[in-house]
Amino acid sequence: GAGVSQSPSNKVTEKGKDVELRCDPISGHTALYWYRQSLGQGLEFLIYFQGNSAPDKSGLPSDRFSAERTGGSVSTLTIQRTQQEDSAVYLCASSLGLAGTQYFGPGTRLLVL
Amino acid sequence: GENVEQHPSTLSVQEGDSAVIKCTYSDSASNYFPWYKQELGKRPQLIIDIRSNVGEKKDQRIAVTLNKTAKHFSLHITETQPEDSAVYFCAATAFSGGYQKVTFGTGTKLQVIP
């Protein structure tokens, strides 16, 4: 079936604006993850969902970041009052369950001017 | 929390030689260790993984070894080819009380020289 999809693929915004990033996991995958990857850097874990629940939000960089998942499927990552340091690729992944293989989406490239 | 260290940060090998990338972790609760390959501009893709009840796993030219006592695991690529050039990430996943924590290493940029 279809893999993990993310939208938009690219987003340019002005400092101070809010942005919303979307992730469509593989159908049937109960676990969903959000990561951030700055240019040339490693993967920074942000948050994961098991179903619609996010047991651990400690990875979110600040209270400007929030995420939700509804219907055990689509997830949105919202960044309020964006800052230039938020510029990065935001990757989403899903897995059949906890400890399952994570399949990554193509990412959303966010540029905050 | 978990701390994963990955070495080396860059690695250049001649085509046909072997490449070894090592990771260490700190949380003894970690019990799942995947390796991802990320080609330039592309998404990370799982290439091999190992669980804590296994000491070694092999898939064609790729193998992973795990030493739980020493808390380190390694990726071995034999007979390297130019298409193996990419950034490789290790990860350690710990499960506790229904919670999951995944920590990635900082990545190794592998260059295979033809």
Best residue in B9, B38, B40, B43 for a mutation probing chain A (most A CBs within 10 Å)? B43
In tens, the pLDDT along B50-98 reads 988 889 999 999 999 999 999 999 999 999 999 999 999 999 988 776 6
In tens, the pLDDT along A6-15 reads 999 999 999 9
- Three-state secondary structure call for residue B98: coil
Is the per-residue pLDDT at B37 higher than 80? yes
Of chain A, the end-to-end C-alpha distance in Å amounts to 37
Please report which confidence band the pLDDT of residue A97 belongs to, taking 50, 70 and 90 as the band edges. confident
What pLDDT, on a 0 to 100 scale, did the predictor assign at position A1? Answer: 53
- Interfacial residues of A (vs B; Cβ cutoff 8 Å): 31, 33, 35, 41-45, 48, 50, 55-56, 91, 98-99, 101-107
What pLDDT, on a 0 to 100 scale, did the predictor assign at position B44? Answer: 92
Is there a contact between B43 and A91 if contact means CB atoms under 8 Å apart? Answer: yes
Is the per-residue pLDDT at A99 higher than 80? no
- Three-state secondary structure call for residue A105: coil
- Three-state secondary structure call for residue B67: strand
Contacts of B99 in chain A (CB under 8 A): 55-56
Q: Nearest chain B Cα to A42, which residue? A: B106
Please report which confidence band the pLDDT of residue A22 belongs to, taking 50, 70 and 90 as the band edges. very high
- Three-state secondary structure call for residue A14: coil
Q: Which three-class secondary structure string do you get for A41-96? A: CCEEEEEEEECCECCCCCCCCCCCEEEEECCCCCEEEEECCCCHHHCEEEEEEEEC
In tens, the pLDDT along B2-26 reads 789 999 999 999 999 999 999 999 9
